[in-house]
Amino acid sequence: MNAHVSYQVEPVVRKDLDFHLNEAPRFWFNNDPFLTRMFDALSLTFPDGERYFIECVRMFRDKIEDPELQKRVVDFIKQEAQHGIAHDKMNQLMKEQGMPVDQFTATLKRIFRFELTKRSPQYNIAMTAAAEHLTALMAETFYSNKKTLENAHPYVRALFAWHAIEEMEHRDVAFDVMKQVGEVPESTRRFVLVLTTVLMFGFTLYRTNIMLKCDGFSSRERLLMSLKGLPWFFGKNGTLTAMKSQYLDWFKKDFHPSQHPVIRQYPVWIETLEKTNDPIAAGEAFWQAGL
């Protein structure tokens, strides 16, 4: 890896984007309950997760002397706040479907409060940087190939496209805070990515199972769904398995997030939103531009 190659883009704060999520069907991913609820379970994490990331970065704001990084931190906070608002709306729809959203979010709040009050600032900023690495890679993985999300409802696909765009825009902010003022040991930086990965997907699978139970599926049905659906994510040719190489780059001593190219069709989303002021049209153009 060439540590001197940089693919950095500036974060842009976009507000009040409407994805008409209430018009999407209950099982919006190809009428597949398992795949739908896996993405729903991931979405459940975002509002409180984004607020946790904001708190972690704020711990170090007074130590940042670089004015450019200060500005990027401000934009990072504003972008993450908007992500939380958008996914709160998606979570409200799940609540209306009978999902135990309040139970899930109460648990998340307890976990994040524990991390913020019982763990060191160094640990927390490393966790944030690691989570940002994961979400930026998932953005690349889900949208670089058009076939991956071809069966997702276009409104929900557009929501995740917008989130993906902004994750790529600010993917290096928490990392730079960690590196410049975080004083985080290399051993901690490497360890937290493994921990974050296990926690993220462990909780996602747990919530998926609970939601499918609330949808009325039996234990046997849920098991069969899992056996059929998990390879889509984690199989030999799974969607998330495809990001293995970039994921492992994190463990290299000279790693920086901006060493990874921004997704090829990034300008398509930007230009379409500027022309139409419609995030759904931008999301559709972005997805259509995949290989």
Residue 152: beta bridge partners? 29
- Mean pLDDT, consecutive 10-residue segments, the chain of 291 residues? 61 93 97 97 94 97 95 96 94 96 96 96 97 90 94 97 94 97 96 95 96 98 97 91 94 94 94 97 96 90
Residue 152: helix, strand or coil by DSSP? Answer: strand
For residue 4, what pLDDT is reported? 47
Q: How many helices (H) and strands (E) does the chain have?
A: 11, 0
For residue 3, what pLDDT is reported? 46
For residue 1, what pLDDT is reported? 44
CB burial of 79-112 (b: ≥16 within 10 Å; e: otherwise) equals bbebbbebbbebbebbeeeebbbeebbeebeeeb
Write the single-letter amino acid at 221. E
For residue 11, what pLDDT is reported? 87
Write the single-letter amino acid at 280. I
- For 78, residues 6+ apart whose C-beta sits below 8 A from its C-beta are 13
Residue 223 tokens read as 């098991």
Angle at which helix 33-58 crosses helix 219-234, to 10 degrees, equals 60
- 3-state helix/strand/coil string of 47-81: HHHHHHHHHHHHCCHHHCCCHHHHHHHHHHHHHHH
Q: Residues 43, 90: contact at Cβ < 8 Å?
A: yes
Torsion over CA: 147, 153, 154, 157 (sign): negative
